[in-house]
Structure 1
């Protein structure tokens, strides 16, 4: 029912803010959580860039995923919860435990609060990282039946997403007491930035526009944040979404060289610094062996196809995403418009 109150966790997050915009546009009232209360004005400023000035239709509660305080208040009176907040470990070289334990326990806090408040359904923002990592090379696109195989090649962030999503499904099965769950697993999230705090994936576009030396042979799926928000709304209310996970990808996955070609073809002079050459895998591996952390993080992905399919979301929920090219260009144009490209 429109005018229902929906809790969106982590209101400073990129996907969360687009979910708030989508909910407000559909007539819902929204409550969102912040770890620190002083960021309300910042969130409202980002939403204004997105075209919304919700006034008292948006409210804020202070709650941290690492602490029980505030979650009962946050969930009280809500019909639905969109849970995308994710704890950020301290330090550049955080241990796996620093990633995994807060992610799993944070999910439990949100799910318990939702259950105890009588929430109908939680939509969990998971990730492709819980689906497509640790596998031998695939001859078919990844789908929702796939789970990341936890092994030494899977980075801590993706391990945390895998274990926290599995823990959420286990909670629903054993302690949910009627609480419903759906999960959305986006690939690399593009689309319009609302300010300087945007998705990790959009940093790739920023780096390309600023002139990185070349494109590593890395493959990824892409999806627009506006379509991710739309999929969250569909998963929130459609009966067919109960107990289901949904991959979010627009079309086929792309190699970084193909992303660069899109930018150069569509942006003209603004893409003058975008690289045209692919960096050989041997060069990336040598840089990683020499201690470059950014290159070291790329090594497990070199030459690996990460194609996936959103056939399930399209068939069950009527989801219709814009093209990967459109979402990549929307990200780039927003960075240029907001003055976030150095030297532009």
Structure 2
């Protein structure tokens, strides 16, 4: 393959997006990336320098918004592949869930339409685990890419619902209007790993609240973890592998890890930064009671005590993907980079 082919990565300022750009440039691809405002161009360049690319030749920026038609034709022009990573992420629980859902669904269709019109060969869409296995509560059931979450399930967050509906819309588009264009989907679990700047994954909120002492007691939540470097690598493998067309791939490093286990690990392995970390476990009953009055507690209450048995066998077998980081290594890399870039004081 001629590595001088051009790839569009949407959402270049994002945690996953910038790691995708970094790895593509390291592999010799030309890269375009979209930003909602060009004011953040220098921020992306700084993150790439932090990742080891001093002069990112072959990188082009295009100003484009998921909710607007402008410039998407320019963004996809001359691109053979598109990694559609960008997706709205609510920092607070929205009053109207359509504030998150509509940009996710409409933005995905906008990108797919522009890509098809430009003759793009394959789009790789970043979905999430919430679109696959949120509805499964049996810890003995192995969750694979064949599963779909119920978007109308009680307790479903607006973000997870947006991911389900956007991915469904993407597959419908390919089936009805995609013509020769191909689609592959990546479904990551909670993403940790090294940040290249101050833009971090939403999963980092748990680490932040543990390390700054604001999480006085630790809820009994179980998390499956993926390192951002592995997630970016999986996007690129799904972009190029002939057999990845029409497939979904779950991205996770290992088995589940609970927040109490994470707290104990931080206290033991990173004592210099974990003085404020509590190892006191919060009872499920108290969280559910708090959920009657607090939106954040209400959002996590359905997840209490749930342990999901998630399989990454498909990505390993079909794409020869081997995660480079364990759960623990991803957490250490997260904390070290948060300190380095001033996310955590």
TM range (shorter): over 0.9
2:140 is paired with a residue whose SS is coil
1:173-192 matches, within 5 Å, as: 173-192=175-194
* Cα distance in 2, alignment partners of residues 337 and 66 from structure 1: 34
* Cα distance in 1, alignment partners of residues 134 and 96 from structure 2: 19
1:82-93 matches, within 5 Å, as: 82-88=83-89, 92-93=93-94
* Cα distance in 2, alignment partners of residues 123 and 27 from structure 1: 19
2:270 is paired with a residue whose SS is helix
Report how far residue 91 of structure 1 moved: 6.8
Report how far residue 88 of structure 1 moved: 4.4
**8 Å Cα contact 1:220-1:307 kept in structure 2:** no
> Which is worse superposed, 147-156 or 221-230?
147-156
Q: What's the counterpart of residue 342 of structure 2?
A: 339
Q: What's the counterpart of residue 313 of structure 1?
A: 315
List alignment gaps of at least 5 residues for structure 2.
none
Deviation string, structure 1 residues 79-100 (Cα, Å, up to 9, x no partner): 1000011134697423122222
Cα 1:89/1:301, change in 2 over 3 Å: closer
Match of 2:236 among 233, 248, 255: 233
**Are positions 1:278 and 2:281 aligned together?**
yes
Report how far residue 269 of structure 1 moved: 2.4
Report how far residue 228 of structure 1 moved: 0.3
List alignment gaps of at least 5 residues for structure 1.
none
1:32 is paired with a residue whose SS is strand
Deviation string, structure 1 residues 149-171 (Cα, Å, up to 9, x no partner): 12232111111100100110111
1:274 is paired with a residue whose SS is coil
**8 Å Cα contact 1:134-1:153 kept in structure 2:** no
Number of matched pairs: 341
* Cα distance in 1, alignment partners of residues 49 and 91 from structure 2: 30
**8 Å Cα contact 1:217-1:279 kept in structure 2:** yes
Report how far residue 333 of structure 1 moved: 1.1
Deviation string, structure 1 residues 152-194 (Cα, Å, up to 9, x no partner): 3211111110010011011111100110110000000000011
Deviation string, structure 1 residues 63-92 (Cα, Å, up to 9, x no partner): 111011111110000010000111346974
Q: What's the counterpart of residue 40 of structure 2?
A: 39
Deviation string, structure 1 residues 275-297 (Cα, Å, up to 9, x no partner): 212110011112222x2222121
Match of 1:254 among 224, 241, 257: 257
**8 Å Cα contact 1:24-1:54 kept in structure 2:** no
Match of 1:203 among 202, 205, 215: 205
Deviation string, structure 1 residues 107-131 (Cα, Å, up to 9, x no partner): 1111111111111110100001111
1:48 is paired with a residue whose SS is helix
